[in-house]
């Protein structure tokens, strides 16, 4: 399948411009455009959760992600929290599975990833808070929990430092599991986070997991907060999905959910 046919398979798009969302059905303008970044993001795998088909659900998602990558390659994939379910002894198995993916991946800690800083870094060979720079675009990844599974805002001192370091970057993408705005039942309210981020002129988007029943986009201070359904677990949207994101040179961002057999909730930002 080529890119044109792939995009033609999207039934409905949401054009998101200047903090407004408009439904659209014609994505032909993107058929010949090459994004500067193309990646997948999946969250809430809950590997090891009792009384769920967690292995089957993960296999289904990864098989589809790899298939799409074969048609139109991803630069990387983000697994945005709640990778395991309360038992970090599953991390080696999950890491071994991710290590076989044909692209780079990044992980963030969610509230069910109940690990200390040392346990997380040993298990995943990745810091809790870190950055990755691709050209003039900066990816920031931060924890929103701890060993006890407490709901926390990201480390604001660390974020402030990174925002200052990258104030001249074209775009910053922030990946954190728990939303620090109380939009939903399981979100938290962090006015300090909200004050910090609204001052940043180059934050392109914030990506969340955590809320299994959320697969859309919410806006605050002209910044989109983007959710991606869930891969595993025992509650949430009727389907188990992941998100694809494409960032273009002119700053346009096209994003859509895969279910993983259909593309839905598509947005241009």
Render pLDDT for 183-236 as a digit per residue (tens, 0 to 9).
999 999 999 999 999 999 999 999 999 999 999 889 999 999 999 999 999 999
The domain limits of the chain are: 34-268
Q: Return the bridge partners of 257, or none.
A: 243, 264
Q: Is the pLDDT of residue 58 over 80?
A: yes
| Domain spanning 34-268: CATH superfamily | Metallo-dependent phosphatases (3.60.21.10)
Three-state secondary structure readout of 166-225: CCCCCEEEEEECCCCCCCCCCCCCCHHHHHHHHCCCCEEEEEECCCCCCCCEEEECCEEE
Q: Per-residue confidence at 25, pLDDT binned at 50, 70, 90?
A: low
In terms of phi and psi (left: phi > 0; alpha: psi -120 to 50; beta: otherwise), the region of 148 is alpha
Which positions ≥6 away from 17 have C-beta within 8 Å?
268, 269
In terms of phi and psi (left: phi > 0; alpha: psi -120 to 50; beta: otherwise), the region of 125 is left
Summary mean pLDDT of the chain:
91
In terms of phi and psi (left: phi > 0; alpha: psi -120 to 50; beta: otherwise), the region of 121 is alpha
Distances (CA, A) of 23 to 20, 72, 228, 247, 264: 10, 24, 18, 19, 12
Q: Supply the pLDDT for residue 4.
A: 58
Averaged pLDDT for residues 135-158: 99
Q: Per-residue confidence at 6, pLDDT binned at 50, 70, 90?
A: low
Residues 58 and 47 sit within 8 Å (Cβ to Cβ): yes
Q: Per-residue confidence at 11, pLDDT binned at 50, 70, 90?
A: very low
Q: Is the pLDDT of residue 261 over 90?
A: no
Q: Is the pLDDT of residue 147 over 70?
A: yes
Lowest mean pLDDT of 3-7, 16-20, 89-93, name the range. 16-20
Q: Supply the pLDDT for residue 12.
A: 44
Q: Supply the pLDDT for residue 164.
A: 99
CA dist 87 and 121 (Å) reads 15
Q: Is the pLDDT of residue 22 over 90?
A: no
3-state secondary structure of 240: coil
Kindly report, residue by residue over 90-126, the tens digit of the pLDDT: 999 999 999 999 999 999 999 999 999 999 999 999 9
């Amino acid at each position: 399948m080529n890119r044109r046919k792939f995009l033609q398979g999207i039934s409905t798009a949401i054009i998101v411009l200047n903090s407004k969302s408009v439904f659209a059905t014609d994505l032909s303008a993107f058929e010949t455009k090459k994004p500067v970044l193309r990646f997948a993001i999946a969250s809430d795998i809950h590997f090891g959760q009792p009384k769920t088909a967690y292995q089957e659900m993960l296999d289904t998602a990864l098989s589809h992600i790899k298939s799409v990558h074969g048609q139109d390659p991803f630069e990387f994939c983000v697994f945005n929290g709640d990778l395991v379910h309360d038992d970090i002894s599953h991390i080696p198995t999950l890491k071994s599975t991710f290590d076989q993916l044909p692209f780079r991946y990044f992980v963030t800690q969610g509230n069910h990833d109940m690990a200390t800083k040392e346990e997380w870094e040993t298990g995943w060979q990745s810091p809790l808070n870190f950055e990755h720079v691709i050209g003039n675009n900066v990816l920031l990844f931060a924890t929103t929990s701890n060993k006890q599974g407490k709901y926390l805002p990201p480390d604001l001192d660390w974020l402030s430092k990174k925002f200052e370091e990258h104030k001249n970057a074209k775009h910053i993408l922030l990946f954190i599991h728990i939303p620090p705005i109380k939009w939903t039942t399981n979100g938290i309210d962090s006015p300090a986070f909200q004050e910090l981020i609204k001052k940043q002129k180059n934050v392109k988007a914030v990506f969340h997991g955590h809320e299994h029943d959320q697969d859309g986009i919410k806006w605050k201070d002209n910044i989109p907060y983007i959710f991606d359904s869930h891969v595993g677990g025992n509650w949430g949207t009727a389907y188990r999905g992941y998100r694809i994101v494409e960032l273009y040179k002119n700053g346009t961002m096209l994003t859509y959910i895969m279910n993983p057999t259909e593309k839905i909730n598509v947005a241009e930002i």
